[in-house]
Amino acid sequence: MRIGHLEFRPIDLEKHSDVCVSFREDSYLCSFGSAEQFHESDGKGAERYLEWLRQRMTDLPNSCVHVWDGEHNVGQMEMRLSRDNASAGYVNLFYLVPEFRGKGISGLLDEYAQKFFQKLGCTSARLSVSPTNTAAVKFYLKNGWKDLGPREDHPEVNWMEKIYVE
C-alpha cells in the first residue's frame, strides 16, 4: 500500500531480519535509554523477537510492514488486534529511522495504521509509550491519541488510545 510518497510492504524476514532487530533495538533506546530489556538477561531476546514477529505475520497478514521511501527502508510498523476488545487494534511499534523523524512523515504511519485497523472493523486502537520518550508522546497527542495514564501491568509505560471516527 502506498500513502503519500511512502510504500508499506510486508516484512521479508529472510532478507531483512537484521534490519528488524536493529529497528527494534533503537526503539528500546529511544523509549528506555537502553536496549538491555530487548536482549533480555540470557541475550536471546533478538531470536525470540524474530520468532514472535514471524508468528505475528502468519496470524495477521500485513500487520507487520516495512516503510519504504523509494529503495530505502526507513521504518517499521507492528500491529495486532486487541486481546480484550474485538473492535480495537493495538500498535506494538511505530518506528522511523532518525533522519526521517520530525519531518511530518510519522503521520503517514498513523494513517496506515488507521486504514489497516478500520479494514478489520476496528473503531479504536491503543499503544503503549514510555513517558520519557517525549518526542513520541508529543507526536501521538498531536495526531489525536489520548494519554490514558500508566498501564496497571507495566507502570513504566502509559496507555494511549485513538478513537476512529468515520
Cell of 68: 519504504
Each domain of the chain, given as residue ranges in start order, spans 2-163
Q: pLDDT: is 165 or 10 the higher one?
A: 10
Cell of 17: 531480519
- pLDDT tens, position by position, 28-53: 988 888 888 888 889 899 999 999 99
Q: CA-CA distances (angstroms) from residue 69 to 16, 91, 100?
A: 16, 21, 10
- CA–CA separation, 153 vs 166, rounded Å? 32
Q: CA-CA distances (angstroms) from residue 133 to 29, 56, 101, 121?
A: 10, 25, 13, 30
For domain 2-163, the CATH class is alpha beta
Question: What is the helix (H) or strand (E) element at residue 118, kind and residue range?
Answer: helix 106-119
The reported pLDDT for the residue numbered 143 is: 92
Q: Is this prediction's pTM over 0.95?
A: no
User: How confident is the model over 113-135, as a mean pLDDT?
Assistant: 95
